[in-house]
Amino acid sequence: MSFKLYFKYGAMGCSKSAQALMAKFNYEQQGYNVLLLKPDKDTRDDHDGKKFVKSRIGLEAEAIGFSSKTNLKTLFKKHNKQNPIGVIILDECQFCTESHINQLKELTAYVPVLCYGLKTDFRTKLFEGSKRLIEIADSIVELKSICACGRKANINARLSNGRIVTRGSIIEIGGNERYKALCYDCFIKLKNEQKKNTPN
């Protein structure tokens, strides 16, 4: 019997972390031991030397962190020996490497794997982890969020002093002060307005 690799994605503010935590709660209610994972690259909610998955609505749970060099199959086997794992739930999966996603796919031989994260970066390009998930996930579900105009948001715009930024490091951690979920039309409109208002 094999299980599925799930990719649940959306723009900033679509409740990805909240949904990951609700899935954790639901599995635990049914008696499953949950391995909650989060890449070390996201340090926003870390405190007291521990890593946490935290949602904007206040839900949070301690998670196991891992680096770009971590073998997730080895990590799974270690925790599975201590207390048999029933499901893997991963938040911020966009920060995974292609190898991580391949390892998670292999782990579906033992347990279901639920991945939550962004699909694209601030340049509208696919993250490495998200790209691989789109290629090999068994189930891909979009979590909806709304642009200020009322349309579906699908762009994670990066801001600097209120202006959209289209260059810089791919990974730059931040929240509402640094990123804004926009629909494509509003994204293009704001970029064009900035160009008009920028002195030559």
92 catalytic residue (yes or no): yes
Radius of gyration of the chain (CA): 18
Q: How far is CA 200 from CA 82, 174, 189, in A?
A: 63, 30, 19
Structure tokens at 30: 């049914």
- DSSP strand E in the chain: where? 5-9, 34-39, 51-54, 60-66, 87-91, 113-117, 139-142, 155-160, 163-165, 179-182
- Spell out the residues 6+ positions from residue 166 whose beta carbon is closer than 8 angstroms to its own: 122, 123, 158, 191
Measured CA angle at 49 (ends 61, 20), to 5 deg: 20
Question: Annotated catalytic residue: which of 92, 98, 106, 172?
Answer: 92
Please give the structure tokens belonging to residue 169.
Answer: 């490091």
- Active-site residues: which are they? 92
